[in-house]
Structure 1
Amino acid sequence: MANRDLNRDEMLAALDWYRAVGVDIAVREEPVDRFAASAIAPARTQRTVPPPGLPQQVPASPPPAAPVVTTSDADPETARELAAKAQTLDALRDTLEAFEGCGLKLRATNLVFADGNPQADIMLVGEAPGRDEDLQGKPFVGRSGQLLDRMLGAIGLDRTTVYIANTVPWRPPGNRTPAPSEVAVCLPFLYRQIELVAPKVLVALGGASASTLFETNTGITRLRGQWRDLTINGHTMRAVATLHPAYLLRQPAAKKLAWQDLLAVQAELEASSP
């Protein structure tokens, strides 16, 4: 099929796709060898001396360079101070909406704060929003979210009886893994969120969430299913890790392990109920 010029709608769709996968700079058709370019000495500028009696021309000053805008993540201590001031979940959400200390916010479409029931006995925490979550402003609404809904339904739960959040509330470009600095600056807000919800049971969805919340480098396949008492900001709850729904979509055979974890979650909730 011969190449043809794209119309306006097609060009906008292409740009939207590039943005969704994290492309934010333009490159040439051919690669540029920057090492070879830097090895070439700059050509010596020759100055023309005017004949005697003629005024010398002063070269015009080059225009000032445009300021370079750099983005760095704020000090986590600043985030802790801001999070601690929020007395309600709504106030915490407003604080995050106004927070400019995480570079992820610059490229995200929406803040993905939470979904579900803030009075729920169980809270689930994933890693970071994906494309669908970024567009809708809610966690776990894509394919993995649909599987999570079915998993919850299998033990008699739904989004009216659970509370769902992520370790990072903004989508990383191209769905990359959040950088340690990004996680560190967002973590105080998640801790405050957990403290305000005060769940009886906390479930870490996937290795990244478990590693962050449990402060461990143990892999998720070894960590899953192991219950512990977890204290965050003075609130103590029962906590466990299980496999992320996105992983289960790639590895359907692992669903039997997730089912074991779900049954254990159901039993823990029943034991904690009065």
Structure 2
Amino acid sequence: MSADQFSLFSTPSENSTPSDASSEFDRIPSDASVQIPPGTYVDLDRLKHHCETCHRCELSGGRTQVVLSRGNPKAPIAIIGEAPGQSEDEQGLPFVGKSGQLLDKILASVRLDPARDTYICNIIKCRPPGNRTPVAPEIEACKPYLLEQLRLVDPQIVLFTGATALKGVTGEKRGITKIRGQWLNWEDRLAMAIFHPAYLLRNPSKEKGSPKWLMWQDIQKVRAKLDELSSVTDNFDSEG
């Protein structure tokens, strides 16, 4: 097994001891070459500590705060965005600027409470300079944290807001306009790509076929699917 494939939880051997594993774990926040396999973190608090001390890419040098998440860590829906903006960097919370305010209104329109029903995060935890789109090395350095967040939260539905989040997490090459609103099976989870709220702010029309109109169709699908899943769970519990 090569060094970059080192498992933090592999069976100790003559070349792998508990102290070696502890040393590798301690290097995660500062060394992007150290892998973060599933099961690395026992809870979100320990993950948060590593993210707050992380220097796995150059974005750490310009951040005010690490932006980890907001919402319910036991929520049925996880919403993944691209990267923090200025407001998010200042407050340490994702989607709190104009895009976030619109996102909350969209959720409320189908009776979804952001604080109760969703866990909101970004693929990148630090603000890129000038709010530019994250580049591949930054996404790859930060993506393992996101995958661990999703493992620990274990949502029933994952929503990717915008093309960067969709492609960065799943590798999907189809454009957001072609794939949005379709149910996907990603890592054995129900997932859907939706427009980023910032895109809707730039396209305010509510006419049929407009981005805002399409978002309304998509978020209703999400609400209906959550109701369906909840009904199945309730029936299973009552029969049990």
- TM-score under structure 1 length normalisation: 0.69
Report the counterpart of residue 155 of structure 1 in structure 2.
110
Question: Do 2:32 and 2:56's aligned partners in 1 also have CA atoms closer than 8 Å?
Answer: no
Q: Report which of the two has the higher share of helix.
A: 2
State the 1:178 CA deviation.
Answer: 0.8
Residue by residue over 1:101-123, the C-alpha shift from the partner in whole angstroms, topping out at 9 and shown as x without a partner, is: 12111101000000000010000
How many residue pairs align between the two structures? Answer: 197
Question: Do 2:143 and 2:169's aligned partners in 1 also have CA atoms closer than 8 Å?
Answer: no
Report the counterpart of residue 85 of structure 2 in structure 1.
130
Q: How does 1:159-178 map to 2 (within 5 A)?
A: 159-160=114-115, 161-178=117-134
| 4+ aligned runs moved over 2 Å, structure 1 | 73-77
Question: Do 2:32 and 2:57's aligned partners in 1 also have CA atoms closer than 8 Å?
Answer: no
Q: 2:74 aligns with which of 107, 119, 141?
A: 119
Report the counterpart of residue 214 of structure 1 in structure 2.
170
- Give the distance between the partners of 1:265 and 1:180, measured in 2 at CA: 29
- Give the distance between the partners of 2:221 and 2:34, measured in 1 at CA: 38
Residue 182 (structure 1) aligned with residue 134 (structure 2): no
Q: What is the Cα-based RMSD across aligned positions, in Å? A: 1.6
- Give the distance between the partners of 1:78 and 1:171, measured in 2 at CA: 22
SS in 2 for 1:80: coil
Residue by residue over 1:60-103, the C-alpha shift from the partner in whole angstroms, topping out at 9 and shown as x without a partner, is: xxxxxxxxxxxxx976551415x743110111001111222121
Report the counterpart of residue 265 of structure 1 in structure 2.
222
- Give the distance between the partners of 2:217 and 2:103, measured in 1 at CA: 15
| Structure 2: gaps of 5 or more residues | 1-28, 206-210, 234-240
- Give the distance between the partners of 1:223 and 1:108, measured in 2 at CA: 33
- TM-score under structure 2 length normalisation: 0.79
Report the counterpart of residue 88 of structure 1 in structure 2.
43
Q: How does 1:1-274 map to 2 (within 5 A)?
A: 76-80=32-36, 84-160=39-115, 161-231=117-187, 236-253=188-205, 254-273=211-230, 274=233
Structure with higher Rg: it is: 1
- Give the distance between the partners of 2:56 and 2:80, measured in 1 at CA: 22
